[in-house]
Structure formats: structure tokens, C-alpha cells
Amino acid sequence: MLKKSSLVLWGAALFIAWNGLLLLFLWSRPPSSSSSSSSSSSAERSRLTEEVIRLAQDAETELERQKELLRQIHRYSGLWGRRRAPPKIPQTPSPPPVAPEGGDTTVLPVLVLACDRSTVRRCLDKLLRYRPSAQRFPVIVSQDCGHAETARVIASYGDAVAHIRHPELGDVPVPAEHRKFQGYYKIARHYRWALGQIFRTFRYRAAIVVEDDLEVAPDFFEYFQAAFPLLLADRSLWCVSAWNDNGKEQMVDAGQAELLYRTDFFPGLGWLLLAELWDELEPKWPRAFWDDWMRQPEQRRGRSCIRPEVSRTMTFGRKGVSHGQFFDQYLKFIKLNDRFVPFTRLDLSYLKKEEYERSFLPRVYAAPEVRVEELQGNQRRELGAVRVQYTGRDSFKAFAKALGLMDDLKSGVPRAGYRGIVSFVYRGR
């Protein structure tokens, strides 16, 4: 700050000194001797007039040059100060009160977990393009790995995003049989540190978590802003996710982009959590495989998440620690919502547990049951919505595989399932 002030003072002094010398030069010129002829006197006056005009023009030009010099000094001294200062993190020491309907006082930071993908630009470009307010949705990029090119990409956004860096870059001690899973240990360590920064250091009330290989939909922020009050009000919920695990284009109804579900499966891939949940999870945070750990009954404790019919995120990160597991078969086909749904104007109370079960479950079990073969053969279309009934883990996996659903279960819960029910579109029905 001192250096910046001294540079500005130096520029001002230079400007004053130059113009002072210019005035001194004009005042100290000796008067011209009188001429006997009126023509020579007139010529002399004309010459002096021209010289004064030229000097005035030179002075004006120099004045503009000095003003530009001062502007440059001010601009570059500001940049120097920013380079030397620690990264500025938008903080809310006393988080603002949240309006019951998720009004403008809601502050939901977006935490972007990054490592060594310079393609984080694709993620950040969309976040910043669709972000309705920098104050209500500050973007904080937490970088692990120390990858220089990725750091340069993040820095290129200037003050539009905050850039924090994980201080521990070394390997994590792992059991001998887990050496090939070192990457999963580092990810869990990074998540713990980054979420700690959000909730402990910056003291936010809630946060939206995304990773550097996600692209967001136009109504990404609208969706989370509208669902946030629901998360506060219904303690049977523990997250809001932007992701539908079975959200391939042919398996969703894009015409019902406003449709939301409850799910017992933790989807991740763009999700909102409260600070209270982090208070609960942080003391027992796992050393690896954090997302599957979240799906265990001990963590979930019977709670559900909200998820959309049409995903509000899509992943473009085939390369990663999972080596593209599921990417070629499922993830690259996920339909990203492409139209804006005004969620904050919609009544989402149907997603509260009591009301949801009062309407959703009877509707499911009122649907006529058909066999998988009938569904595959496109038979009995006159029935409208139908139900395929499975009897256990093996039959679920067989049916899911036959119909193109993700067939794995985590802690006995199918992806996108609620009470064992997985809703999807098959051949337009």
C-alpha cells in the first residue's frame, strides 16, 4: 500500500515539475526589440503568437501524456498490490438471515473442487455466465495438485472467482493393498479441507459443491435457490442434487423439466448441503471413497435428497481417478437441461416427506404392473404409466440391465431410487 502511494505521489510531482518549468520558460523570455517598420513588428507579433500557440499545444499534449502516466501508475500499482496480497475470499462472518422463500438475502457460495484439469475453464465459464448475482453466489475454486496450467486458468478470471489452494500436496499414507487408490485418498483429503474452509473459515450457512469437470444448466442457480428453503424446513432431507443418475436423454421427459423427486441415493455431482450437516460429517470424514461413504446407512440415517427429472449438471471429465468408469456407457449421455425453469415461482411443498408419500406412493402402486418383456416389446401402450415389479437385488439388476438403467446398488439403494422405486421413461412412456 505504501509503494502504491509513493508511486502516485512521484507521478504527481513529475507532472507539477514539468508544467512549472514550462511556465518559467515562458515568463523568462526577453521582450522582443521594437522595429521601425510596422510590417516587421506585425511579423514579429505573428511569429510570437504562433510560438505561444505551439507551446500551448505542446503543453496540452504533455499534460495528456502525464495524465495517462498517472493512470498507468495507479493501474499497475493496483495490480502489484493484488499479486502480493493473499487471495481475497468472499466472507460472511455473520451470515445474513435467509428469507423463508429463498429471497435475495440467501448467500449460497459455489465451491469448485479443482486439481489438474485446465478444462476447468468450461466449468467456470458456464457458472459465471448463468450466475444471477456475484454477491448471492460467490464462486470459490479450491485447487489441489499444484498444477501450474490449471492455476493460470483460474487466475485469469481475476476477482470474478476466489482461488484457494490446498496446502498439502504430498501422497497420503495408504494401506499396501490400496496403493492404486492413492487418488481417492487425495480427493477425500481435499474435500475435507475445502469444506472446512467454507464452513469453518468463511462461515457460510450452506454451500453448493461442484467439481471441475461439470457443466451447469441455465437454471442451475435458480434450482438451488428455490430448493434451499426446503432443505432448511424438512429435516428428512440432507441434500439437494442437480443430478439424475438415470438422466440419459431417452430416459427422461424433457417436457417436464420442472419435475423434481425425492431420492434415498446420494447423487452428488452438483449438490447443496447445510453447515449443520458438515458439523455432523466432519469428525468422521473418511480417508477415501467419500461419496460411497456418504451412501452408507450410518451417514444417511434415513434421510433423502432432492433430484431433478432432467439433470442440471453434466460431466465432461472422462479422464480422472476412476479412469472413465461408467462414462462411456452412461455419463456422457446424460441430458443437460437447456431451458430455464422459474423454480422460485413454483410451489415445491409437494417434496416435503409427508406430502410426497401421501401422493407419490399411491400413484406408483396404482399403476398397472407389466412384465419387462411386454415393456421391451412396446406392448399395452394403452395403459399409460406402468410399473415393473422386482423382488430382490438380483431381479433388480437383471431388469435394470435389460431396460438400460444403471444397475449397481450402494448399501442396497438403487441409483435415483426412493423407497426402492426408480422412476424413468422407456420408449416415450
264 included as an active-site residue? no
Neighbours of 394 (CB within 10 A): 9
Q: How far apart are the first and last CA of the chain?
A: 66
Maximum pairwise Cα distance, the chain: 124
Q: At what angle do helices 120-130 and 148-155 cross, to 10 degrees?
A: 20
In this structure, which long-range contacts are made by residues 123-128, counting pairs with CB atoms below 8 Å and at least 24 apart in sequence?
A: 123/210, 123/211, 123/212, 123/213, 123/214, 123/215, 123/216, 124/154, 124/157, 124/161, 126/215, 126/216, 127/210, 127/216, 127/220, 128/157, 128/160, 128/161
Q: How far is Cα 75 from Cα 77, in angstroms, rounded to an integer? A: 6
CA angle, 26 then 28 then 33, to 5°: 95
Find out whether 193 and 70 touch, Cβ atoms under 8 Å. no
DSSP state of 258: T
Separation in Å, CA 292 to CA 142, 238, 288, 295: 22, 15, 9, 5
Q: Strand 413-414 to strand 409-410: parallel, antiparallel, or no bridges (unpaired)?
A: antiparallel
| Catalytic option among 116, 253, 291, 407 | 291
DSSP state of 142: E
E strands in 115-247: 139-143, 162-165, 206-211, 214-216, 237-241
**144 three-class SS:** coil
Find out whether 303 and 238 touch, Cβ atoms under 8 Å. yes
The residues carrying an active-site annotation are 291
